[in-house]
Structure 1
């Protein structure tokens, strides 16, 4: 697995890189925020471990550019900002997971490996296009089109939509969605599923229909339904 670690704190950067390399991961480091998107483009890493703050610069503002250059990369944000609004901002910008400082290295490793397993699992998935109404999802190219027009999704948004579409009409609990899409049993954030569903709705329900294709099932989770 290829991992790009980006942090302006050299001691922490080297600590993380040494630890991941010792676990057999192919690790590259960068200490300047403006270099991250270029390194991501050149390396095409499976996972990017990205510090939230580089001095006064917020790396969340760079996430769209990073993901445009390396769209299949998973993003794990590291930060001392543990306010819910800060975490939600990072997730909405395209991050896949969030880890607050100070952290235990074993937890960081587990989260990196979990993100990597999701990528490995995609290699063996069926490549048949999933068609529901006027929405088409192609697992092979990882593209989504509505009436032939491409909808730009992050890697995690694509995975979430794929799972919902494959279970068209079924009520899915938040726990089941989290376990399948995020690959873990316990929530890193209590509302991470809700955050990503909200992002998908904004992109899919444009213009807003009378009823969203991703319906809320009160007290349980969500249901994808399209005719």
Structure 2
């Protein structure tokens, strides 16, 4: 059986449309019509991926995303936003979403983004642990766990991949487009805000003073660089 996806969308027609396309691509699909129902389904079914609408009855998508991210840090989350609502996109990323799609969307693009996210999140079944290290940071690339000073960090899948990319390329400057290609792993039909938001969240988790970063440096006019210490 394929990967599990949970669709949290209150409009039955849209939910059914998304469901059919995922089923055609060998996903095992679960549905929820509200954030509250979605949280319960995640506990019961343990999906690999969530498709989460922002506008939901009762608890909205932002709060649902926040709760999901807190309880399931390795869960992939793609949020569905209204056309032209840039603030929705930014807030979705701030609350922990890995990606977003703007309604109306091409279902083939949604499937492509879902597959790309799952590939990047893939949990290796290798028996021997492999590690990356840089200063006080250690990444176990099999368990996808990151430690700073031997303390486990609570990172989202995208934050993990950004940090891994940096640590594999110490002192190399990456443009935002470089990071989109390396981390998001597809032709991204949006803008670079998604990179900046994820970098800001990552800094908040790894830097002692996020406003004065010691590790993820801003390279003005270019992008970002991991500073070897």
TM (normalized to structure 2)? 0.89
Shift of 1:225: 1.0
- Structure 2: gaps (5+ residues): none
Shift of 1:89: 0.8
Question: Which residue of 104, 109, 112 maps to 2:111?
Answer: 109
Could you list the runs of 5+ residues in structure 1 that have no partner in the other structure? none
Q: Aligned equivalents of 2:217 and 2:88: distance in 1? A: 26
2:211 and 2:14 map into 1 onto residues whose CA distance is 48
Cα 1:44/1:188, change in 2 over 3 Å: farther
Residue 140 of structure 1 deviates from its aligned partner by: 2.4
Task: Provide the residue aligned with 2:164 in structure 1.
Answer: 162
Corresponding residue to 1:53 among 46, 49, 55: 55
Q: How does 1:19-34 map to 2 (within 5 A)?
A: 19-34=21-36
How far residue 195 of structure 1 moved from its aligned partner, in angstroms, is 1.1
CA RMSD of aligned residues (A): 2.2
CA contact (8 A) 1:36 1:66 kept: no
- How many residues of Structure 1 are paired with residues of Structure 2 in the alignment? 226
The corresponding residue for 2:216 is: 214
Counterpart-to-counterpart distance in 2, 1:127 and 1:177: 26
> How far apart in 1 are the matches of 2:113 and 2:132?
29
Does the 8 Å CA contact 2:124/2:143 hold for their aligned counterparts?
Answer: no
C-alpha contact 1:4 1:49 (8 A) present in aligned 2: yes
Which range is displaced more, 7-16 or 75-84? 75-84
Which residue of structure 1 aligns with residue 226 of structure 2?
224
Question: 1:81 offset after TM fit, Å?
Answer: 5.6
Distance across 2 between alignment mates of 1:23 and 1:116:
13
Distance 1:190 1:134 in 2: 29
Deviation at 1:94, TM superposition (A): 0.7
1:10 and 1:211 map into 2 onto residues whose CA distance is: 45
In the TM superposition, 1:1-227 aligns within 5 A as 1-55=3-57, 57-80=59-82, 82-120=84-122, 122-123=123-124, 127-207=129-209, 211-227=213-229
> Please, which moves more after superposition, 191-200 or 33-42?
33-42
1:76 and 1:192 mapped to 2: Cα distance?
12
TM-score of the superposed pair, with normalisation by structure 1: 0.89
Measured at CA, do residues 65 and 42 of structure 1 come closer, stay the same or move farther in structure 2, by a change above 3 Å? same
Q: Comparing 31-40 with 153-162, which one deviates more in the overlay? A: 31-40
Distance 1:119 1:209, change over 3 A: closer
Give the SS at the match of 1:103: coil
